[in-house]
């Protein structure tokens, strides 16, 4: 039995088999082969297996999602079968005497580059399909498991060197038990995703995780610890611990149906942060008062083309209809930084967290932004939609958005399409600039929501994803708490509500502080709602919290 310590980034216990996840082409070696004929044979066999595998994925996907979404796997088959593709690979193996994995990776990358340069948007978007198809074949050639993608009957623990948000979200919730990674940090989007999915997760494990593939493991998310090949005593111990953990969660279930109100009668809205439609279920089962943040950009990740207006409309409608009695706040896309996509022209940047992201991408891609706004407005007739703008730094950006909204409404009217004229428009306060001028911002919008994750990163100049600096990423810093106080006061002076939707919203040590500031809504990962509700209900706001006294 091997016992390893890392950093727990999502609580809970998982016991199961490890599946090592690899982005195949990143690990491809290049070497000369002695027998090119045999290597060609190996490539051709791999190609056949890849086709069978992709066809199976296509059949499975047809049962799970729409045919149009499943067709991607057939596209991958077509790419691998393409005569030019095959010819190039065979030439590299046969003439240059190089290994098949390298030949496929090289060919896929070269071909993908050609598509990336094309003028046509659709053809450009094939770029990532070509790389994906190549990856599948390389994995097979490397003899990496091509066993079925994890399914609900055989959920697995995913181990990986590092996971991007798009990769994390590509796993269906009930098919994964938890995550183990070498690289990661508490406040990265990937960790937030794991917490939202309610999956235990430990990062910064210093070991070759590929060696654990197929082995039994235990994840203790709270202690930041994993066991590989645990003995029977440890397994029994952890089954008991898991049961205790589940019982504790069951105790919290007593909060379901109770109002989110303090001992002395101050109300607060405790709402859910969600990222995918799959998360609706846990928002509902954890009795969220509302949806305070739907990170709409997740709809745009892990795909090779932009979701069109009707696809977006369907998604927004689904969330809104799931909360018929409460508001649903949908954030306009916060793409860029660690949430990159290939089908929009997002440049490779030296400092992407401070780069082309959020509203900046929307401003530069008017039609793209309008499509999202059209879908949102069309969805607004199904419930109480609120629209939240991200990474706003100045009032001009809000004015631009308002002009675009007018344009969108004009178009919808002309087309005879219905929308709600009273959709509330809000702004995320997640840069120090926005917090400092929040008096001006609050005059222009219907609500504000403080994004403490980015606000902490930018105020303290500490990259939220840099694990070496994690000790300095300190959201309790006086500067952050003061900024929250300023924003709350400015919002209330303008008569508009203020919410907090960063990870800090779920920190029960700060609940009395937030209540003292009269924060109107705290939005958090669904699994934390009941714990915070219990804290709210035992708080007396006549007692001034220490954090406030010190400011």
**207 close to 227: Cβ distance less than 8 angstroms:** no
- Select the residue interacting with ligand PEP from 452, 459, 499, 547 (CB under 6 A): 452
372 is an interface residue for ligand PEP by CB under 6 A: no
- Region of 232 on the Ramachandran plot (φ > 0 left; ψ -120 to 50 alpha; else beta): alpha
Minimum separation from the CB atom of position 479 to Mg ion (A): 17
Is residue 340 part of the contact set for ligand PEP (CB under 6 A)? no
Residue closest to 162 by CA, chosen among 139, 130, 189, 133: 189
Considering only residues 379-418, where is the footprint of ligand PEP by CB under 6 A? none
- Residue 139: CB minimum distance to ligand PEP, A: 31
Task: CB nearer to ligand PEP: give 43 or 294.
Answer: 294
Strand, helix or coil at 158?
Answer: strand
The answer to whether 295 contacts ligand PEP (rule: CB under 6 A) is: yes
Identify the H or E element spanning 521. strand 521-524
Residue 453 lies near ligand PEP (rule: CB under 6 A): yes
Candidate ranges 249-257, 405-413, 436-444, 450-458; the one touching ligand PEP (CB under 6 A): 450-458
Q: How far is the CB of 451 from Mg ion (least distance, A)?
A: 4
Does 383 contact Mg ion by CB under 5 A?
Answer: no
- Taking residues 444 to 463 in sequence order and writing x for each that binds Mg ion by CB under 5 A, - otherwise, the string is -------x--x---------
Which of 430, 463, 507, 520 contacts ligand PEP by CB under 6 A? 430
The pair phi, psi for residue 266, each rounded to 5°, is -85, 130
What are the structure tokens assigned to 195, written together?
């917490």
Q: Residue 275 or residue 512: which is nearer to Mg ion going by CB? A: 275
Cα 514 to Cα 485: distance, rounded to the nearest angstrom? 9
Of 230-238, 369-377, 380-388, 451-459, which part binds ligand PEP (CB under 6 A)?
A: 451-459
Tokens matching residue 168: 């994390």
The secondary structure of 194-244, three-state, reads HHHCCCCEEECCCCCHHHHCCCEEEEECCCCEEEECCCHHHHHHHHHHHHH
The 183-212 site mask, x for binding ligand PEP (CB under 6 A), equals ---------x--------------------
Query: Among 39, 129, 334, 397, which residue interacts with ligand PEP (rule: CB under 6 A)?
Result: 334
Question: What is the x/- site pattern for ligand PEP, positions 495-524, by CB under 6 A?
Answer: ------xx----------------------
Question: Per CB under 6 A, does 475 bind ligand PEP?
Answer: no
Residue 477 annotated to the active site:
no
Strands (E), 298-350: 327-331
Residue 446, both tokens: 């219907």
Residue with tokens 């996840």: 21
Smallest distance from ligand PEP to CB 260, Å: 20
Q: Is 454 or 520 the residue whose CB approaches ligand PEP more closely?
A: 454
Strand, coil or helix: 550:
coil
Measure the CA–CA gap between 408 and 378, rounded to whole angstroms.
Answer: 10
Minimum CB separation from ligand PEP for residue 363, in Å?
18
CB–CB of 167/6 below 8 Å?
Answer: no
Should residue 431 be labelled a site residue for ligand PEP when binding is judged by CB under 6 A? no
CB 19 within 8 A of CB 157: yes
Task: Name the binder of 19 from Mg ion, ligand PEP, none, CB < 5-8 A by kind.
Answer: none
Nearest residue (CB) to ligand PEP, 423 versus 455: 455
Q: Does residue 292 bind Mg ion (CB under 5 A)?
A: no
Classify 3 in phi/psi space as left (phi over 0), alpha (psi -120 to 50) or beta.
Answer: beta
Q: Which residue has the tokens 């290049």?
A: 30
Alpha-carbon gap, residue 94 to 108, rounded angstroms: 17
Pairing assessment for the beta strands 225-228 and 216-220 based on DSSP bridges: antiparallel
> Catalytic: which of 53, 76, 189, 442?
189
The tokens for 490 are 């400015």
Angle 404-497-387 (CA atoms, 0-180°, nearest 5)? 30
Within 401-440, the residues that bind Mg ion by CB under 5 A are: 430
Stretch of 6-14, 394-402, 448-456, 507-515 lying at the interface with ligand PEP (CB under 6 A): 448-456
Is 501 an active-site residue? yes
Catalytic residues: 189, 501
Contact set with ligand PEP (CB under 6 A): 192, 295, 334, 430, 451-454, 501-502
Contact set with Mg ion (CB under 5 A): 430, 451, 454
């Amino acid at each position: 039995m091997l016992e390893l310590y890392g950093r727990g980034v999502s609580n809970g216990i998982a016991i199961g088999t490890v599946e090592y996840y690899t982005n195949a082409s990143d690990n491809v070696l290049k070497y000369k082969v002695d027998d090119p004929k045999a290597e060609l044979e190996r490539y051709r066999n791999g190609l056949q297996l890849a086709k069978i595998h992709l066809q199976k994925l296509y059949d499975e996907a047809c049962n799970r999602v729409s045919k149009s979404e499943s067709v991607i796997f057939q596209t991958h088959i077509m790419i691998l079968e393409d005569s030019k593709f095959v010819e190039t690979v065979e030439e590299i193996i046969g003439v240059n005497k190089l290994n098949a994995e390298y030949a496929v990776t090289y060919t896929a990358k070269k071909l993908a580059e050609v598509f990336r340069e094309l003028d046509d948007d659709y053809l450009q978007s094939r770029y990532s399909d070509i790389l994906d198809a190549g990856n599948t074949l390389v994995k097979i050639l490397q003899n990496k498991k091509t066993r079925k993608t994890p399914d609900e009957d055989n959920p697995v623990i995913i181990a990986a060197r590092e996971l991007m948000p798009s990769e994390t979200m590509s796993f269906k919730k009930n098919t994964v038990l938890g995550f183990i990674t070498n690289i990661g940090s508490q406040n990265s989007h990937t960790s937030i995703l794991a917490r939202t999915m309610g999956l235990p997760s430990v990062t910064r494990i210093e070991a070759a995780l590929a060696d654990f593939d197929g082995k039994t493991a235990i994840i203790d998310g709270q202690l930041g610890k994993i066991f590989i090949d645990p003995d029977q005593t440890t397994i029994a111990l952890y089954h008991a611990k898991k049961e205790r953990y589940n019982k504790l969660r069951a105790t919290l279930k007593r909060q379901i149906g109770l109002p989110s109100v303090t001992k002395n009668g101050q109300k607060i809205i405790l709402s859910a942060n969600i990222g995918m439609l799959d998360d609706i279920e846990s928002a509902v089962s954890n009795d969220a008062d509302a949806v305070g943040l739907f990170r709409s950009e997740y709809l745009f990740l892990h795909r090779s083309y932009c979701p069109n207006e009707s696809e977006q409309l369907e998604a927004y409608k689904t969330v809104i209809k799931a909360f018929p009695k409460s508001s649903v706040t949908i954030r306009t896309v916060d793409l860029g930084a660690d949430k990159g996509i290939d089908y929009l022209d997002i440049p490779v940047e030296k400092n992407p967290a401070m780069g082309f992201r959020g509203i900046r991408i929307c401003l530069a891609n008017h039609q793209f932004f309008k499509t999202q706004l059209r879908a949102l407005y069309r969805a607004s007739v199904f419930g109480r939609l609120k629209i939240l703008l991200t990474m706003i730094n100045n009032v001009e950006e809000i004015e631009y958005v308002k002009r675009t909204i007018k344009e969108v409404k004009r178009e919808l009217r002309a087309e005879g399409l219905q929308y709600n004229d009273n959709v509330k428009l809000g702004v995320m306060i997640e840069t120090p600039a926005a917090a400092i001028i929040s008096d001006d911002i609050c005059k222009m919008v219907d609500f504000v929501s403080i994004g403490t994750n980015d606000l902490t990163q930018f105020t303290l100049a500490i990259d939220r994803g840099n694990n070496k600096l994690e000790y300095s990423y300190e959201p309790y810093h006086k500067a952050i708490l003061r900024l929250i106080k300023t924003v709350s006061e400015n919002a209330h002076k303008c008569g508009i509500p203020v919410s907090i939707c960063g990870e800090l919203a779920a920190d029960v040590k700060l609940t009395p502080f937030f209540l003292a500031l009269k924060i109107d809504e705290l939005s958090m990962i669904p699994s934390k709602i009941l714990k915070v509700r219990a804290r709210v209900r035992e708080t007396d706001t006549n007692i001034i919290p220490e954090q406030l006294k010190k400011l």
